[in-house]
Amino acid sequence: MKEYLQSNKHKSRARLRVPTAHVAIEAAHAGSMALLDYFRKPLEVRAKGVANYVSEADLAAESAVVQTIQDAFPTHAILSEESHSDRADAEHSWIIDPLDGTNNFIHGIPHFAVSIGYYQSGQGVLGIVTSPATGDWFVAARGEGAWFNGQPIRVGSAQGLEQAMIACGFYYDRDQMMQSTLDTIGDLFRCEIHGIRRFGAAALDLAYVAAGWFDGFFEYRLSPWDVAAGAVLIQEAGGTLSDCQGNPVTLNRPTSVCASNPKLHPKLLEMVGKRIPKISE
């Protein structure tokens, strides 16, 4: 795993020209290596809420990522899931999920990510999502493009829901938000979509939309660190990302998310917009 991660790191770095990219790549690599050190080994885990956990792997990856960034840019703002809560719209802001897919990780399922977005005054500049267990890298830089292991990626070309593979996520709520998500899945099946996938790592869901593997993705409540890197990937891969009412996503608070190719987006939005739970925005 580690060799594949390393070789794809080199291919990814070769693509990116923005000055902060080198540091972002090193930070994602450090976080990914920290996660692999803990994967499928006995793990200390603490519950934050229903089905919402933090493990020593989350914390180790976070300190590896944050340390790498702070060594290079001590004055930059950091918003990261477990420990730093600076503003996402600071002049220079790093928005980090050190382990996206904690639930998968603690069950030994090899679908989890490190997600790092670098924003300047609220504008996405860099998005990096790694999948440490497969050694894959998704990277994007504003105005430069989006890549999977060094190869350019684009969103898919599905024109209608009946041509689409759709992904979704469930927030930790087991009440209204869960029910709305289930109802929307039913509505989508009745539109004859190819299928629904719930893989359990939102950063990878967004990366898969950017790569054209998923045609669309929705979730009724996500945190800024789930979305920051994926948003840059989607934008640079030619996709559209909004909240579930069609508004631009802002990263200073939790948000709903709907992402797809521009042609499919209004159709997916129409379906997910019907069921928005009141507590999601």
Q: Which does 169 bind (CB under 5 to 8 A by kind): Ca ion, ligand IPD, none?
A: ligand IPD
Interface with ligand IPD by CB under 6 A: which range of 129-137, 139-147, 177-185, 195-203?
A: 195-203
Footprint on residues 93-132 left by ligand IPD (CB under 6 A): 97, 100-103
Find the binder of Ca ion among 226, 227, 258, 261 (CB under 5 A).
226
Site string for ligand IPD, 156-185 (x = CB under 6 A): -------------xxx--------------
Smallest gap from Cβ 238 to ligand IPD, in A, equals 23
DSSP class of 278: G
Q: Is 230 in the site for ligand IPD (CB under 6 A)?
A: no
Under 8 Å between Cβ of 194 and 165: yes
Q: Kindly report the number of other CB atoms within 10 A of residue 73's CB atom.
A: 15
- Residue number, nearest CB to ligand IPD: 169
Please name the residues in contact with 15: beta carbons below 8 A apart, sequence gap of 6 or more.
139, 141, 144, 145, 147, 150
Contact 12, 139 (CB under 8 A): yes
Of 63-71, 95-103, 126-134, 138-146, which segment contacts Ca ion by CB under 5 A? 95-103
| 171 contact, one of ligand IPD, Ca ion, none, CB 5-8 Å limit per kind | ligand IPD
Q: How many residues bind Ca ion (CB under 5 A)?
A: 5
Q: 158 to each of 63, 148, 155, how far by Cα in Å?
A: 40, 20, 9
Q: Cα(180)–Cα(136) distance, rounded to whole angstroms?
A: 33
The contact set with Ca ion (CB under 5 A) reads 81, 97, 99-100, 226
